[in-house]
A and B are shown apart, each in its own frame.
Chain A
């Protein structure tokens, strides 16, 4: 048997260290203040003790380090760890020279045993068993047998939870959402360890804070408030999640001070690992596009980060549709063969709404009178559309303004309107595009 005893340097990282240790062996238990790992069964898998210890202890990002000790039984390993923490050197002969204070079962009897001149495990073992059992209880003997490897050591082994769900009490009441960030970071670090142990990437997670007040200013408050954070591709990269959570928190408000913070994983996917490449052009520093789009969408609002999607319509304002970039998936190239010859004659800038132009002396005006250079290009479509715009019946012209250059304007065709209005209503001109 080969046991490792671990003591995380931060108390609150115990759970995370337990999950991390489960990657190396299924036999992990929390005993007293330490974590005990039995790794003899998986030593060959990890390439020997040295390599296993190096992987377990040295490459432990993002957790802080841990104190450790090893031994043939769990009691020896734990005793050695306690000695190490007290700054004492390990005795030459194990386990008989270990002092009694480092054996949990003997702790309460140390004073009596010392008065009888019994200081080490070996001396305690040399005492008659029946007398020890009568005086100190059978538990001490069982522990001693275990320490000498004469009894199987059984512990309630740790399990890795199926879903991540962890709740922290805040160090002090949080009155604004950004104050939750510090605890959220610790939770996210735990999430990363859990994801690494489960080999999964997270897609959606939920932060939930418990409100400290039941009612505020006479208004009943809910007991919890929630915040859901989503990302487009499964990730174990906590830096991105942290920035995303930070953006969300900086935009949300607490309706009352909060005292607990809970993080749950809503959606996870099996994680194939990060692609790494030796080619320099693949190793570009910086975040990925979907991460950028997500962060921009959170801070600026989803409707402000847009991508155009081509649509089959003849009305210029319907030829493309602006889609929210976070939801738009990079689609394969559209089916049609590509731009037609007519497309090259369209202006590169389009006004979001056609701008009605003033008409003076039967000439449309935009920074001075417009001179029509080319046209009309006739468009008569949308007769099926009962929407706000109705059918479109227009004559398009390329016009030139002395100040603004080439413009794309249209005239609403009179035939489109009813006969009575035809004489009364003046011709209406609109500016729709700008050649740039």
Chain B
């Protein structure tokens, strides 16, 4: 009984012998995501380089660039070579991406109809020495095939993002980081899997770029402004030549 009195509860963080999963993750190479609130939640403080990042979405397309562009812009500054899109759902629009740090000439689009060809293309791209990052849309990929991609990314230290549908949510996956993207006005990011404790509540991130958000905000203010303000704005706008012709017709 006298020994038991010596026992006390110690915070494991204070013990130097105790390793935590986050510490293990912090030893790997990461690329900051460009969004502080996301960096704080990701183990190591950014996108893991040399490991697959899986992103689950109901529909292909939305939120992709808003989430990845700041990181990709850094990646192409650090490393030569293009960002390769395998089987992108739409065409990336160069002028817009260039304004946000990813010039069009640093893009390479690979289209493949058959799922096997997509996987092959993605793997070949990962094995190339001159590629900065790979974004692959692989809705039909199986876990074993993704493991192959994960291994290729690991061997060659590539940044790899794989997009899949929501139905893959309950399947096993080799990815170290699995994210689920949803939301319309705001990007709600669920971290399904990471090295460390799971994240209970989704992370809220802006759904559109700062400039678009500012434009929409300005419009909203103008709509709700007092009538005198509104006429002033209207008069100001009338002064534009194109607007005047439009008004005449």
Inter-chain CA distance A284–B81, complex, in Å, is: 13
Q: Which residues of A contact B69 (CB under 8 A)?
A: 348
Inter-chain CA distance A331–B129, complex, in Å, is: 20
Q: CB within 8 Å of B: which of A279-338?
A: 284-289, 291-293, 295-296, 299-300, 304-310, 316, 319-320, 322, 325, 330-331, 333-334, 338
Inter-chain CA distance A293–B109, complex, in Å, is: 10
Asked if B219 is at the interface (CB within 8 A of a chain A CB), the reply is yes
Asked if A117 is at the interface (CB within 8 A of a chain B CB), the reply is no
- Which of A285, A305, A349 has the most B CB atoms < 10 Å from its CB? A349
- Do the beta carbons of B120 and A299 come within 8 Å of each other? yes
Q: Which of B90, B94, B100, B212 is in CB contact (< 8 Å) with A434? A: B90
Asked if A398 is at the interface (CB within 8 A of a chain B CB), the reply is yes
By secondary structure, the A interface counts as mixed
Asked if B107 is at the interface (CB within 8 A of a chain A CB), the reply is yes
- Which of B62, B64, B97, B246 has the most A CB atoms < 10 Å from its CB? B62
Asked if B19 is at the interface (CB within 8 A of a chain A CB), the reply is no
- Do the beta carbons of A305 and B95 come within 8 Å of each other? no
Task: Name which residue of chain B comes closest to A402, CB basis.
Answer: B184
Asked if A152 is at the interface (CB within 8 A of a chain B CB), the reply is no
Q: Which residues of A contact B185 (CB under 8 A)?
A: 400, 405
Inter-chain CA distance A398–B246, complex, in Å, is: 20
Asked if B216 is at the interface (CB within 8 A of a chain A CB), the reply is yes
Known A307-B105, A343-B99, A404-B62: A374·B216 in contact at CB below 8 Å: yes
Task: Name which residue of chain B comes closest to A289, CB basis.
Answer: B130
Q: Which residues of B contact A334 (CB under 8 A)?
A: 105
Task: Name which residue of chain B comes closest to A351, CB basis.
Answer: B90
Q: Which residues of A contact B97 (CB under 8 A)?
A: 348
- Do the beta carbons of B98 and A339 come within 8 Å of each other? yes
- Do the beta carbons of B94 and A310 come within 8 Å of each other? yes
Task: Name which residue of chain A comes closest to B100, CB basis.
Answer: A344
Q: Which residues of B contact A147 (CB under 8 A)?
A: none
- Do the beta carbons of A373 and B216 come within 8 Å of each other? yes
Asked if A187 is at the interface (CB within 8 A of a chain B CB), the reply is no
Q: How many contacts A-B (CB < 8 Å)?
A: 182
Q: Which of A305, A345, A350, A400 is in CB contact (< 8 Å) with B91? A: A350
- Do the beta carbons of B211 and A406 come within 8 Å of each other? no
Inter-chain CA distance A400–B62, complex, in Å, is: 13
- Do the beta carbons of B95 and A289 come within 8 Å of each other? no
Q: Which residues of A contact B104 (CB under 8 A)?
A: 308-310, 320
Q: CB within 8 Å of B: which of A376-390?
A: 378, 380
- Do the beta carbons of B109 and A322 come within 8 Å of each other? yes
Task: Name which residue of chain B comes closest to A330, CB basis.
Answer: B105
B120 to chain A, nearest CB (A): 7
- Do the beta carbons of B124 and A320 come within 8 Å of each other? no
B78 to chain A, nearest CB (A): 10
Q: Which residues of B contact A343 (CB under 8 A)?
A: 95-96, 98-99
Known A287-B127, A296-B124, A299-B120: A352·B90 in contact at CB below 8 Å: yes
- Do the beta carbons of B211 and A345 come within 8 Å of each other? yes
Asked if A26 is at the interface (CB within 8 A of a chain B CB), the reply is no
Known A320-B104, A434-B62: A287·B92 in contact at CB below 8 Å: no
Residues of B within 8 A of A (CB): 59, 61-66, 69, 81-82, 89-100, 104-105, 107-112, 117, 120-121, 124-125, 127-131, 156, 184-185, 207-209, 211-212, 215-216, 219-220, 242, 246, 249
6 contacts between A and B (CB under 8 A): A299-B117, A300-B111, A346-B96, A348-B64, A349-B61, A350-B92
Given contacts A296-B125, A322-B109, A374-B215, 5 further A-B contacts (CB under 8 A): A285-B129, A300-B117, A307-B108, A345-B215, A405-B63
